[in-house]
Structure 1
Amino acid sequence: MSTERRRVALVTGAAKGIGHGIALRLATDGFDIGIVDLASQRNEAENLADRVRTLGQGATVISADVSDQRQVFEAVEETAGQLHGLDAMVNNAGIAQVKPLSEVTPEEFDQILSVNVASVLFGIQAAARKFRELGVRGRIVNACSIAGQSGFPMLGAYSATKFAVKGLTQAAAQELAADGITVNSYCPGIVGTSMWDTIDELMSRYNGLERGATMRKYAEGIALGRVETPEDVAGLVSFLVGRDAGYLTGQSVLIDGGMIYR
């Protein structure tokens, strides 16, 4: 009988949206899942854990604010302790902001930097320490965006955070390569989630279009002719944490159906 340890992945912002899709896909791939999200998302996170368990995988739910370094390190420790290891860290949590740059307040800028950038830094730090402790050649995957490849008007602060994630990904990949740890990012486009519903609604306040019109406008530029799903993104993450991606590091990979070409 095989005594091989089961693989473990931690996904932040996993209760809904892209993170939810990633967690379910990795569970299907055979990972036990550490589900990390805000306390306000506890019910959704527990429902996800139940679904992971029906797939025959272990799951643990941890309420944490990923903009707090201590809480991120504790979430990694708790996941590794309860699920007996850690092999992949998916720094997925993030927020959007729709506003012209001239109107962004210091408080708003601090918030989006904390959630979208600092959380990724803390996730890299915590995962790298745990991987080294366990002697694991782990995988770190970060949430970037097409807005980390090209700046978008009305999404200037958000774009800035995603460019920062791309930079962190490149630097971390080089610093951690000697330990066999890979670091990559995924760059989605227009994904049919509650975040994009919010972006669409806020855009309508500035451009005067009816709700739904902004998403339709952006979607017209997708070569493959449809809005992206969380499952589309999850398929790329599955590859990035899988055995076939062992020689890929420092990359921010576009998965947008054909919107931005680099």
Structure 2
Amino acid sequence: MKTETVLITGAANGIGRATALAFGREGAQVAVTDKDEQGAAAVAAEIGPRARAFGLDVTDAAAVARVFDEAAAALGPITVVHANAGVSSMKRAVDLTEADWDFNFSINAKGVFLTNQAAVRHFLAHGTKGVIVNTASLAAKVGAPLLTHYSASKFAVIGWTQALAREVAADGIRVNAVCPGFVKTPMQDREAAWEAELLGTTPEAVLQSYIDQTPLGRLETPEDVADVVVFLASDAARFMTGQGINVTGGVYMT
């Protein structure tokens, strides 16, 4: 990866942080972006001099375009983009508000759209056969109760990934997605607490239920996902596009 320049959104913690560090270990130059600019800076510092941090709200088209320009000016033309920024909230479907729906879609779906669009424009402008990897979810393959709006937003990511992959294949641009399962991140900790409250149980019991659903018998780590993202960005995956790769420990197998 020493010839690659990678831009990652939502990279201050969780899967994005693990992906940034993984690319850094492979020698890539890494643009670490997040709405939490201080958190992004901490990750860039972990990687070292080949990384730069940028504050980024992925729902702001002008900001996305600006950060691509700034990252390219600092590190060179972007060749790999991991559109990872995402959010969740949890309610019963009958209790959802428009604000709940819009919150999930604005970041999970619109954020991927804007980041991918900027990436394709950047690749075409620089004559780059670039790679995009989007973070979808297990909930993009199987609808998740209490996460109906989140599931819908992640199903949208899969549909977008497939359609975009077909559209830009002739330009040598590959577009894939990863579909993580029960990943131990700060987001998962919040979701376990929400689910416990909704179901009248404890967060510990909820987390155990996640493990019980996972054939490989443990919670997933961010690094489990990051290694697959690096693979999809590499030449080893040169004939893969339009895929939603399950990284679930066997929770979902088709």
**For the superposition of Structure 1 and Structure 2, which TM-score range results when normalised by the shorter chain?**
over 0.9
Which residue of structure 2 lines up, in the alignment, with residue 137 of structure 1?
129
Which residue of structure 1 lines up, in the alignment, with residue 39 of structure 2?
44
Structure 1 segments unaligned to the other structure (5+ residues): none
Cα distance in 2 for partners of 1:96, 1:112 equals: 6
Within-5 A mapping of 1:154-169: 154-169=146-161
Query: 41-50 or 182-191, which moves further after superposition?
Result: 41-50
Q: Which amino acid aligns with 1:48?
A: V
Q: Deviations over 1:180-203 (max 9, x none)?
A: 000000000001100000000111
Which residue of structure 2 lines up, in the alignment, with residue 215 of structure 1?
207
Which of the numbers 84, 91, 99 marks the counterpart of 2:76? 84
Normalising by structure 2, we get a TM-score of 0.97
Which residue of structure 1 lines up, in the alignment, with residue 20 of structure 2?
23
Which of the numbers 245, 257, 261 marks the counterpart of 2:237? 245
Counting aligned pairs with the same residue, the percent is 37
Q: State the SS of the aligned residue for 1:153.
A: coil
Does residue 1:12 correspond to 2:9, yes or no? Answer: yes
Aligned length: 254
Cα distance in 2 for partners of 1:133, 1:114 equals: 27
Which residue of structure 1 lines up, in the alignment, with residue 67 of structure 2?
75
Structure 2 segments unaligned to the other structure (5+ residues): none
Q: Deviations over 1:49-90 (max 9, x none)?
A: 11111xxx5111111110111111111111111101111010
Does residue 1:187 correspond to 2:179, yes or no? Answer: yes
Q: Which amino acid aligns with 1:146?
A: L
Cα distance in 2 for partners of 1:32, 1:18 equals: 18
Does residue 1:235 correspond to 2:227, yes or no? Answer: yes
Contact 2:31 2:54 in 1 (8 A): yes
Q: How big is the shift at 1:5?
A: 7.8
Which of the numbers 93, 96, 104 marks the counterpart of 2:85? 93
Q: State the SS of the aligned residue for 2:201.
A: coil
Structure 1 runs of 4+ with >3 Å offset: none
Cα distance in 1 for partners of 2:210, 2:43 equals: 30
Which residue of structure 2 lines up, in the alignment, with residue 122 of structure 1?
114
Contact 2:41 2:54 in 1 (8 A): no
- CA 85–5 in structure 1, closer or farther in 2 if over 3 Å, else same: farther
Which residue of structure 1 lines up, in the alignment, with residue 198 of structure 2?
206
What is the RMSD of the two structures over their aligned residues, measured on CA atoms? Answer: 1.2
Normalising by structure 1, we get a TM-score of 0.95
Q: How big is the shift at 1:213?
A: 1.4
Cα distance in 2 for partners of 1:112, 1:102 equals: 16
Cα distance in 2 for partners of 1:141, 1:156 equals: 23
Cα distance in 1 for partners of 2:196, 2:2 equals: 50
Contact 2:8 2:81 in 1 (8 A): yes
Query: 13-22 or 211-220, which moves further after superposition?
Result: 211-220
Cα distance in 2 for partners of 1:206, 1:108 equals: 16
Does residue 1:63 correspond to 2:60, yes or no? Answer: no
